[in-house]
Amino acid sequence: MKIALCILVRNERPCLEVMFPRIGEPGPEAGYDAIVAIDGGSTDGTVEYLRQRGVTVFGQSRRGRGEAFHIAFREVEADAYLFFSPDGNETPDDLPRFRTLLANGADLVIASRMMKGAVNEEDENFFKFRKWANNAFTLAANLGFRRSGPYITDTINGYRAITRQAVEVLKLDAVDYTIEYQMTIRCLKHGMRIVEFPTVEGPRIAGDTGAPAIPTGLRFLRCLGRELASPRRS
């Protein structure tokens, strides 16, 4: 099974300098067989950093994290896509775990920040607004779309891998930060096999989020409404 590691970046140079050396080399031990990056219009030397290290970088004509997923699906030949954001939230230590779970038949593998044994960025805060909102959207997805199989604890996290076969069935069309939520919901709708493992979410290393809480939350609500209104199988 050929797994393509797809690094998603927009102005992440300082984070890449820390995270990229931790990704390792492609190969059976590393959990992926090729590395590409999709860039959402960086102006801080992110693209140059990656190209100097031999990474093929695809640019985007339209901004958006979902748009980056579609470029990966369109441009990269692979049996599965493993998405990685190098901003510090996701640990490269988990990269090898995806291959085993995909090889065992998972359609979608999610590194969960919410299940037993996992750590969420906000766990040390008293008010965990982002975690609570995430959990509310996750509850809605499970109640609205789960047909069988276990409760999915983190329907939103971007640290995930999906098979090419699943992508071809799901007909995803979200272009923004709702891409993962739409992907999980559609996998649930189709009764696909979703497997999670616990991960430890780290803090952002540098820079600012591109996903401000309120507009992003409203987009998630719209995404949920659209999925509820459309047939169970897209």
Ligand X SMILES: Nc1nc2c(ncn2[C@@H]2O[C@H](COP(=O)(O)OP(=O)(O)OP(=O)(O)O)[C@@H](O)[C@H]2O)c(=O)[nH]1
Interface ranges with ligand X (CB under 6 A): 8-10, 12, 38-40, 60, 63-65, 68, 85-87, 89, 204, 209-211
Shortest distance, CB of residue 50 to ligand X, whole angstroms? 11
- Which one, 28 or 215, has the nearer CB to Mg ion? 215
User: x/- contact string, 85-124, with Mg ion (CB under 5 A)?
Assistant: --x-x-----------------------------------
Cβ(1)–Cβ(79) below 8 Å: yes
Residue-by-residue DSSP string for 81-148: EEEE-TTTTS-GGGHHHHHHHHHTT-SEEEEESSSTT-B-TTTTSS--HHHHHHHHHHHHHHHHH--S
CB of 216 to Mg ion, least distance (A): 12
Establish if 227 lies at the interface with Mg ion (CB under 5 A): no
Q: Of the candidates 11, 91, 73, 86, which has an alpha carbon nearest to the alpha carbon of residue 48?
A: 11
Question: Smallest distance, Å, CB 233 to Mg ion?
Answer: 32
Nearest to ligand X of 64, 217 (CB atom): 64
Specify the residue, 63 or 147, whose C-beta has the smaller distance to ligand X.
63
At 94, which amino acid appears? D
d(CA 126, CA 131): 11
Please answer whether residues 162 and 107 qualify as being in contact, where contact means their C-beta atoms are separated by less than 8 angstroms. Answer: yes
Does residue 201 interact with Mg ion by CB under 5 A? no
Q: Which of residues 63-92 bind Mg ion (CB under 5 A)?
A: 87, 89
144 or 210: whose CB is closer to ligand X?
210
Question: What does the alpha-carbon distance between residue 70 and residue 90 come to, in Å, rounded to a whole number?
Answer: 21
Tell which residue, 149, 112, 145, 117, has the closest CA to residue 131.
112
- Nearest residue (CB) to ligand X, 121 versus 190: 121
CB 203 to ligand X: min, Å = 8
Angle at CA of residue 114, ends 25 and 78, nearest 5°:
35
How many residues bind to Mg ion according to rule CB under 5 A? Answer: 2
What is the Cα–Cα distance from 9 to 71, expressed in whole angstroms? 13
Binding interface with Mg ion (CB under 5 A): 87, 89
